[in-house]
Amino acid sequence: MKEIDEFLRENKPVVKDDPTFILEAQRRMEAVEGIKSEVDRQRSHGRKALIVALVAGLAAGVLATAVAFLYPVDVQSVGSGLLESVRVFLQTYRQYLLMPVAIIAISLGLVLSRGGKTAHI
Alpha carbons 108 and 53: distance in angstroms, whole number: 8
CA 10-22-31 angle, 5° bins: 95
Output DSSP code: residue 71: T
- Could you state, in order of their start, the residue ranges of all structural domains in the chain? 2-114
Q: How many CB atoms lie within 10 A of CB 35?
A: 13
Residue burial 68-81, b: 16+ Cβ < 10 Å; e: rest: eeeeeeebeeeeee
> Confidence class of residue 1 from pLDDT cuts 50, 70 and 90?
low
Measured distance CA(48)–CA(52) in Å, rounded? 6
Q: What is the rounded distance in angstroms from the CA atom of residue 108 to the CA atom of residue 52? A: 9
How far is Cα 6 from Cα 17, in angstroms, rounded to an integer?
21
- pTM exceeding 0.85: no
pLDDT at site 20 = 81
User: Per-residue pLDDT tens for 91-112?
Assistant: 788 777 778 878 888 888 778 7
Query: Which pLDDT tens digit goes with each residue over 33-76?
Result: 889 999 999 989 888 888 888 888 888 888 888 877 777 656 55
